[in-house]
């Protein structure tokens, strides 16, 4: 019951209280910030899932970039509706993850981390070289998402006709985030989640009880990259442009840090981690050239004293419920 109350409070806060607060205070720039947090946390959730099978993934930027390009190309070149291009972007990223994942997921520990770190750079360079991605000039003037209607009912309004597309993006990103984390919670508490935990703890023992570990690894990496692709595609649509530098190695590192900060043992860790990291960076803006120094020092201190993430601050009894 307490959990359901938490979910209801969270949903009320995201969909009613925050928009209400922003409307009252007139700080509509916060919409962009919070939309970014929602989208980045979707991509971070994917990274978190690869942590769940014991792989350090520093390559989510690659899949976010792939997703952003796929959606941009489909919308601008093929004239497809953004809402159709969104899942396709995720699926394309997942397909790429399957092809790349089969060979590299055999690696463990720092070896996998290093290879995944290279991925972002590879995708950036590919985007610079390919004609369809328009090289360094990128894809610009992407139209805002169009409307979706069925049986005469408008399900999603045309964003271009809206008075405040920022609010619309905020809602869209929040809905995606809520769906993502609901699915993640379900996944982690279903059999796939149990198998992931068994693999995280001991791959040899997992294979001895009949778990096809290479199959599960690829499935999980594909889901992870799907989320990266979705997050990236939505980002491109908000910025109405995609460049090879839209997602860089630093972004990949941040996706991973979000998971560490929130807590690797908690499904909702990446959401909290993204929020704190994103706002933390902005709040330290006043420090000028000391911003990065203060930011990294705080991260180091946090990880030293809270190695299991911010969510480990809660009562120990809640821990099991999240797992």
Partner 1 sequence: MSHLLEVRHVTKKFGGLTANSDISFNVNENEILSVIGPNGAGKSTLFKMISSFLPTTAGEVLFKGERISNLKPHVVARKGVVRTFQETTIFKSMTVRESIIVAQHLRARASLAGYFWGTKTAHEDVDSFGQYADDLIDFLGMTEIANEQASNLPQGNLRALGIAIGLATDPKVLLLDEPFAGMNHDETMKMVNLVRKVRDDRGVTVLLVEHDMPAVMNISDRIVVLNFGEMIAEGTPAEIQNNEKVIEAYLGSADDEIGI
Identify which range of 2-10, 207-215, 227-235, 242-250 contacts partner 1 by CB under 8 A.
Answer: 207-215
The helix/strand/coil state of 66 is helix
Task: Return the residue of 205, 287, 292, 293 that touches partner 1, per CB under 8 A.
Answer: 205
Residue 197 found at the interface with partner 1 (CB under 8 A): yes
Tokens 């499904």 belong to 267
| Residue 25 near partner 1 by CB under 8 A | no
Among 209, 313, 315, 321, binds partner 1 (CB under 8 A): 209
DSSP per-residue letters across 141-178: -PPPP--EEETTEEEE--GGG-S-HHHHHHHHHHHHHH
Q: Among 204, 286, 288, 304, which residue interacts with partner 1 (rule: CB under 8 A)?
A: 204
What is the four-CA torsion angle of 128, 131, 137, 141, rounded to 10 degrees? -130
Of the pair 49, 123, the CB lying nearest partner 1 is at 49
Give the angle subtended at the CA of 243 by the CAs of 238 and 246, to the nearest 5°: 65
The least distance separating partner 1 from the CB of residue 270, rounded to whole angstroms, comes to 19
How many Cβ atoms from other residues are within 10 Å of residue 91's Cβ?
17
Whether 278 contacts 33, CB under 8 Å? yes
| Closest CA relative to residue 234, chosen from 163, 181, 165 | 165
- Kindly tell me which residue out of 26, 208, 250, 304 binds partner 1, with binding defined by CB under 8 A: 208
Name the CA dihedral angle for 114, 116, 121, 125, rounded to a multiple of 10 degrees: 130
- Closer by beta carbon to partner 1, 104 or else 264: 264
Looking at 27, 77, 106, 194, which residue binds partner 1 (CB under 8 A)? 194
Binding residues with partner 1: total (CB under 8 A): 22
| CA contacts within 13 A on the Cβ side of 320 | 2
Tokens representing 291 are 């911003």
3 sits near partner 1 (criterion: CB under 8 A): no
Of residues 163-192, those binding partner 1 (CB under 8 A): 183, 186-187, 190-192
Binding pattern to partner 1, positions 210-249, x when CB under 8 A? xxxx-----x------------------------------
For the bound state, the minimum distance from the C-beta of residue 258 to partner 1, rounded and expressed in Å, comes to 23
Q: Is 288 helix (H, G, I), strand (E, B) or coil?
A: helix
Q: Which residues contact 217 (CB under 8 A, 6 or more apart)?
A: 53, 55, 101, 105, 199
Contact letters (x/-) for partner 1, 44-63, by CB under 8 A? --------------------
CB of 195 to partner 1, least distance (A): 7
SS3 label, residue 211: coil
b/e per residue, 159-174, with b = 16+ CB within 10 A?
beeeeebbbbbbbbbb
User: What is the nearest approach in angstroms of partner 1 to the Cβ of residue 220?
Assistant: 11
Q: Measure CA of the first residue to CA of the last residue in the chain; give whole Å.
A: 17
Quick check: 195 binds partner 1 (CB under 8 A)? yes
Q: Taking the complex as a whole, how short is the minimal distance between the CB of residue 2 and partner 1, in angstroms?
A: 22
Q: Which is nearer to partner 1, 155 or 183 (CB)?
A: 183
Chain residues binding partner 1 by CB under 8 A are: 183, 186-187, 190-192, 194-195, 197-198, 201-202, 204-205, 207-213, 219
């Amino acid at each position: 019951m307490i959990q359901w109350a938490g979910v209801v409070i969270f949903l009320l806060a995201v969909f009613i209280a925050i928009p209400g607060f922003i409307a009252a205070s007139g700080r509509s720039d916060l919409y962009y910030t919070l939309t970014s947090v929602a989208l980045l946390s979707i991509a971070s959730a994917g990274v978190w899932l690869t942590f769940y099978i014991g792989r350090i993934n520093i390559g989510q930027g690659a899949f976010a970039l792939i997703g952003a390009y796929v959606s941009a190309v489909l919308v601008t070149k093929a004239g497809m509706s953004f809402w159709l291009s969104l899942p396709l972007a995720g699926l394309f990223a997942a397909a790429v993850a399957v092809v790349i994942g089969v060979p590299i997921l055999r690696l463990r520990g720092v070896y996998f981390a290093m290879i995944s770190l290279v991925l972002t750079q590879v995708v950036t360079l590919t985007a610079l070289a390919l004609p369809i991605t328009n090289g360094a000039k990128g894809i610009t003037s992407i139209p805002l998402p169009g409307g979706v209607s069925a049986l005469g009912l408008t399900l999603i309004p045309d964003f271009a006709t809206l008075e405040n597309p920022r609010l619309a993006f905020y809602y869209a990103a929040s809905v995606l985030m809520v769906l993502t984390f609901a699915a993640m919670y379900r996944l982690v508490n279903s059999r796939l989640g149990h198998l992931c935990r068994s693999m995280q703890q001991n791959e040899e023992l997992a294979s001895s009880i009949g778990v096809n570990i290479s199959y599960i690894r690829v499935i999980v990496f594909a889901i992870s990259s799907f989320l990266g692709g979705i997050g990236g595609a939505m980002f491109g649509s908000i910025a109405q442009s995609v460049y090879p530098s839209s997602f860089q190695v630093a972004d990949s590192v941040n996706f991973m840090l979000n998971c560490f900060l929130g807590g690797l043992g908690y499904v909702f860790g990446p959401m909290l981690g993204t929020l704190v990291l994103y706002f933390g960076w902005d709040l330290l803006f006043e420090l000028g050239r000391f911003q990065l120094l203060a930011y990294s020092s705080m991260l180091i201190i946090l990880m030293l004293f809270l190695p299991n993430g911010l969510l480990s601050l809660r009562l120990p009894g809640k821990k099991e419920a999240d797992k």
